[in-house]
Every structure is written in structure tokens, then in C-alpha cells.
Amino acid sequence: MPLQAWLDRTEVQPGAPGLCSLSVRRDEWRSLAEDVAAAGSRLVALWASADRQNRPFLRAAYLTENFGIVASTALGAADEPYDGIEDLFPATSRMQRAIADLTDFRSTDRDTRPWLRHDGPYEFVRVDGDGVHEIPVGPVHAGIIEPGHFRFSVVGEKVLRLEERLGYVHKGIEKRFTEFGLLDGHRLAARVSGDSAVAYSWAYCQALEGMAGMEVPPRAAWLRALCLECERLSNHLGDLGALGNDAGFAFGLAQFSRLKENLLRAMHEALGARYLMAAVVPGGTRLDLVEPGATRLRSTVLDLSREVVRLREIYDEHEGVRDRFNGAGAVPPVLAARLGLTGLAGRASGQAFDLRVDIPCVPYSELAPVKVGRNQGDVAARVAVRFDEVLESCRLVQRILDALPAGPHLASVRLPSDGSIGIGLIEGWRGPVLVALEAGVDGAIRRCHPHDPSWQNWPVLEHAIIGNIVPDFPLINKSFNLSYSGHDL
């Protein structure tokens, strides 16, 4: 049926703006997914839950260009598979496998290999042919990188196939949430993926505040945006330096490391921390902007934007860097749309979607960010998007500092009733971060599901490397810079 017919059955979903909830029968689950896919919409997350009577439910969050649908359906017995949607949204195959490992509820997906449990047998897909051999990499890596296994099938140095296996740590984060109260869970949310602490804690608080039916003070909303843009800047600066280094251009690493350190020091003086794990709390922010730190942050960001313009010229003019970036790890727009590539990597492959622009929450509805993107889909395009977003975030930070509303930065939050459900959805630096929160008795957390955009983008990396040489994998991988931690709950 047309998507509008489904929308006529929806109700307002507490939490992020523009979301609606929809309950469907089990026999409608796939029909809804088919109509959402036919409308060109995207899937954000898929997870399992249970209501107050412990009845199991399957939930999915979809996004169109200007609104979202949170769909739910009751599951049957554990031995009755539900209709898989991996052919419509390929990234859900791993999500469905993770649900099976965690709950024993399985889909009709033919890929029944375990995802999180590593004590059983696991067969990688083999590529046969003359001269084909395999290169196993990981799961233990050098440095501080988290565990992940990458199985390359190659001829010479040319990659024919890559298959990833992640989820080695499985920290039990979703279970740990149920040991927190609703007013404390933001602390764990900020640590789901440390490079996205503001995005996760804001999404958590957005879900909680939606259930409580409250709006945070205007100053708090603007401070949250300031923290989020500083987080975006910090990560993009680090990645731009690392990408230069992976291309054999250590000068880039040195310069961007310097700029990142300057920013972190200014953030510490203005906001009280280099990394903003504790910045966003229910009802607003834990911190307020202080002087003279605000003045230093303003001048630091202004200087940063000027230096980034010059460094971009150097990257663009350096023949060796251009040679490594151009054409490497390309994901054409058609493939990106088919596989559900999202976030900054998606915007570099013609997927022009940014929650800050398309479904904005306060204060982005007033800040009016400029959406950036490219169509080439290669390392060079992902680098270009980062440069564009750095400059746009610098502009946004300056605008926030100039127009920050007066007043309180924190308000009290009443506890929502048992069984309430809220959805938080924030455009983190990597892409859309979702937190689905369910209230229990007396302020307890019944269920919390955090979802990182890396779930969508890790499978696309397998395609991006095909036809490239093995030594280019670190560069291509870094151009995505996906989260292990946010993917391994």
C-alpha cells in the first residue's frame, strides 16, 4: 500500500522531533518494510524488546526525508521465525543475527551464522579460483584498536572479496543499562562509543525528556549543539590528520594533531572538559559556558578555520596525496543507496541526508546548517566532506557563541510512567545515533537500545575495498572510521 496509508495509522512518538509510532501485525511487518523501501526511505535501526508483561516485540526505525516511523510488531514463539527484511535493507542481516544471539528469536534470513557468540564454529565465505588466496587480519590488532577480524580473498594484491567479523568483545551494555535509573543512564550512553559521547548522551536525554513531556531551557539546547559541533570538529580534525598519514604525508598528521590539541584545550577552558563525556544530562547540561574560556574558544575556532583552508589547499595540491585519495575505495551513489550507506560517508556518495537539516531539533531549526556532500564516493570525496563539515561546524560554533540565549541551562525532569517509550535521534559526526529507551517501575530502565550508524556502514566497507589493493585498506578503512565499540554492545 502507499506509505501514506501507513502514516494514517501512526501516533506521535515521544522523543526526537518528526517521529511517529506504528503498531503492525506480524503479517504486515514485511509489507511495511517493502513500502518504506519503495518510497526510497532508509532504515535506522532494528532491535527486539519486551513489554511490561514480558511479551516480545520487534521494532524498527525508518527515516524518510522529513519524518520518521518507529514500527513495532509482536513476536510469536521462539521457534516461529519472523519475516526477514535483509533483501530490502541489507544491513539488517547482521542486526537480525545479533537479535538471534541475544534473544533466540530468529528471522527467515538464510544466513544463520552466529554474530556475537564466538565459541561456536564460523565459516567465512570462500572464493575459489586460480591464484586466489586468503589473508586473515585480526581480530587482535596493533595499538589500541578494538578487535575485529577481516578476511581478504585476493589475487596478488588485488582484493576480490572482504568479509568482516565483529562483536568480539560484547560488553553487555544493553543489559548494564537496566541496572541504572532513568536519570542516570546518560552516563553509560556517553560511553557507548567514546568518540560520540555528546551524540549518544543527547539522544538518551532526548528520549527521556520526550517521555517526560518536557522541553529543556533554550540555553541548554544551544549548549548541547555547541558541544556536538565541538565533538564533530575534534573527530574530523583527527581523521584528516590520520588520512594524510596513511597516504604517506606525515606533515598532515602533525598539523591536524596540533589543531585538534588547540581545540581540546580551548574546550577544556570553556566547557570544563577536553572530551565531553559528562556535558549532557537530563534536563539540560551539567556545565555552562564560562569566561574567559568562551573568548578563547571563539578565537581558537576562528584561527582553526583559517588554517584548515590553507591545509586543504596543501592536500589538494600534493600529487602523492591526490594519487592515494582519488578513486580509492569508491562507493557509487547507486550502490550506496542500495546498501543504506549513511552519515558523512553516505553524503560523500550522493546520499544527501543530515538530521540537522532534514529533521532538525532545537536549536538546529534556528541555526540552519548547510548540508554538504559529494557524488564520487571515494576516499577523496570522504575527505572533502570532512573539510566542508569542519568549516561549517566552525561557522556554527561562532554563531552559537554569538547568539547563546541567556537563562538557566538545567531544569528538573519528572520520571515517566512505567511502560513509556521514547526515541532519541541525533546526527553525530559519524551519522545518525539512535537511542530507544523504555521506562520501568519507579524510575528504572526496562530496556535501552543504542544504535550506531556503523551498523549500516561496516558492510559497505566490504564493497568499497573490492578491486583495490591490500595496502590501500588502512587508508580506505580510515576514510570511513567506523566504530567497533558502538557496534559491539
- Domain of 359, CATH number, reads 1.10.645.10
CB 244, CB 321: distance < 8 Å: yes
CB 279, CB 201: distance < 8 Å: yes
Residue-averaged pLDDT of the chain = 95
The model's pLDDT over 427-436, given as tens digits with 9 standing for 90+, comes to 999 999 999 9
pLDDT for the residue numbered 167: 85
φ, ψ (nearest 5 deg) of residue 83: -70, 120
Distance CA 422, CA 428 (A): 19
- Is residue 275 domain-shared with residue 232, that is, in the same domain? yes
Q: What residue has cell string 518510497?
A: 39
pLDDT for the residue numbered 360: 96
Query: Torsion angle of alpha carbons 36, 16, 170, 106, nearest 10°?
Result: -30
| Chain length of the chain | 489
CATH of the domain at 12: 3.30.460.80
Residue type for position 177: F
Query: Is 311 inside any structural domain?
Result: yes
> What is the value of pTM for the model shown?
0.97
Distance CA 376, CA 348 (A): 7
- Is residue 200 domain-shared with residue 65, that is, in the same domain? no
The model's pLDDT over 119-133, given as tens digits with 9 standing for 90+, comes to 767 889 999 999 999
> Domain span at residue 158?
132-165
* Residue 8 clears pLDDT 90, i.e. is over it: no
At residue 331 the predicted structure's pLDDT band, cuts being 50, 70 and 90, is: very high
Distance CA 428, CA 194 (A): 12
CB 481, CB 348: distance < 8 Å: no
Query: Is 120 inside any structural domain?
Result: no
Q: Can you tell me the mean pLDDT for 367-392?
A: 97
Question: The C-alpha cell of 337 is what?
Answer: 543507496
Report the number of distinct structural domains present in the chain: 3
Find out whether the peptide bond into 471 is cis, omega within 30 degrees of 0. Answer: no
Q: Which H or E run includes 243? A: helix 218-246
- Is residue 378 domain-shared with residue 401, that is, in the same domain? yes
Reported as half-sphere exposure (CB side, CA atoms, 13 A), residue 5 has a value of 7
Query: Is 202 inside any structural domain?
Result: yes
Distance CA 248, CA 50 (A): 51
Distance CA 341, CA 210 (A): 28
